[in-house]
Structure 1
Amino acid sequence: MIKQNLPKKFRGYSTTELLEMWEQIANKDGIVPGTPKDKIRTMNHFLRQFEIAPVYQIAAKKGNVGGSPG
């Protein structure tokens, strides 16, 4: 479940853009070719910090936030 109190920007990228990129991956559309690697890494950090992706939600419940999931 996506938390409601998200910043408008995260590490210089629009939160909306990062969420849209995550939605593309979740829907198996994949990341648009040519997307900067830094933006992909930022999306990963964003998902982890705000526990948006299911894998990070599970890790948080296990007390493994900040480390590798599982």
Structure 2
Amino acid sequence: MKELNLVEVEQVSGAGVFADAGASLGAGIGGVIDAVHGNVSTAAADAGRKLGRGIGEVFEVIVGVH
């Protein structure tokens, strides 16, 4: 079985450095919001992760990271 390098993994996952960073930042901010509301759910963290990843992917397309 072939071992994938970093570029191949990013191409398969559809995410690059900026998308991953945006997802992490969004999840962190959402996690704080979830904590303020007593950690009843992870809705804010999940929404933040999706929004951050989307913004990062748009940035990657504009800059041409892939």
Same fold (TM over 0.5): no
Larger Rg: 2
Point out the structure with the larger helix share: 2
What is the TM-score with the length of structure 1 in the denominator? 0.29
What is the TM-score with the length of structure 2 in the denominator? 0.30
